[in-house]
Amino acid sequence: MISLNPESIATLSNPQLLDLAKVFSDPVVTFAGWVHFLVLDLFLGRYIYWQGQNEKIWTIHSLILCLFAGPMGFLSHIITRTIQTKFMSKNETQLT
């Protein structure tokens, strides 16, 4: 039975297809992977989408990144939101 131990973590840090198949053949590792996918990627994606809708932020690139790598998509959203918020606030003050 394979579980998350130093050897499997080393395998995941430099993945090869056969090694990944061996690691994910363990139900515990597969369960942990699915929980990670469901909680991190889907809920972060939902949060990014809702915040984009509420604040009129462009989010398609962040959602795509979130689908493939949750933390990268969230970081992209934070950067986009910061830039857009500063840019929009400058434009609004110049117009008035």
CB 31 within 8 A of CB 49: no
30 is a domain residue: yes
How far out from the chain centre does Cα 82 lie?
Answer: 18
Please indicate, yes or no, if residue 57 is contained in any of the structural domains: yes
Number of domains in the chain: 1
Distance from C-alpha of 8 to C-alpha of 35, rounded to nearest angstrom: 18
Answer yes or no: is 52 within a domain. yes
The reply to whether 90 falls in a domain is yes
pLDDT of residue 4: 66
- For residue 29, give both structure tokens: 């590792």
pLDDT in tens, the chain (96 residues): 446 677 767 766 777 888 778 878 888 888 888 887 788 888 888 999 999 999 988 899 999 998 888 788 899 999 999 999 888 766 665 555
pTM, entire model: 0.61
In-domain check, residue 39: yes
Domain that holds residue 90: 6-95
Structural domain contains residue 1: no
Q: What is the structure's pLDDT at 27? A: 87
Write down the pLDDT at residue 24: 80
